[in-house]
Amino acid sequence: VETGSAEDKDYKASGYDRGHLAPAADMSFDKTALEESFYFSNISPQVPSFNRGVWKKLETYVRSAAKNLGTVYVVTGPILKSGLSEIGENGVDVPDNYYKTILYFSDTLITGIAFIMPNQKVSDNDIFNYTVTIDELEKQTGIDFWPALPYFIEKKTEKQINLDFWKQYKP
């Protein structure tokens, strides 16, 4: 973090939750990992009903998919851009949207999915209504998420969503 770190006082009376990017619940395997999940480098301002609602459902879904599949690769974060509103003395950006992308591969299948969710109270908590292709997520973030995949597999995986595959892991 080039500009310094957020602090508790930035969130106090801001109206935002300290939303985890890597969920604390995923770190229960180790005391140190759990404690480190509360570093502000893993925290971002989230609307409370978003953080405790659809975002929590997505985190629970990813845990379920990982448990069932054995191994998944996950990248998550805020979509940052200029002109975002800020909170606190340290000017902590409040993202309009958050993303999560998941990659699974085995000897017979490579598939991925991405989600972009608005940082706001939403009436529709079905996480699959927020799916986008990984290509679309890359356009919105400027990040190449799975560059180590062989080129032709990366292109195929990132331009389509295998919803039938991913929906079977709903908790």
With 0-12 CB in 10 A as exposed, 13-18 as middle and 19+ as buried, what is 58? buried
Tally of CB atoms within 10 A around 64: 13
DSSP code of residue 13: T
Which of 6, 10, 16, 20 does the annotation list as catalytic? Answer: 20
* Catalytic residue check, 127: no
The closest alpha carbon to 45, from 91, 114, 4, belongs to 91
Residue 131, C-beta contacts closer than 8 angstroms, at least 6 positions apart: 113, 114, 115, 161, 163, 166
Handedness of CA 153, 159, 164, 169 (dihedral sign): positive
Query: What's the distance, Cα to Cα, between the start and end of the chain in Å?
Result: 35
The set of catalytic residues is 20
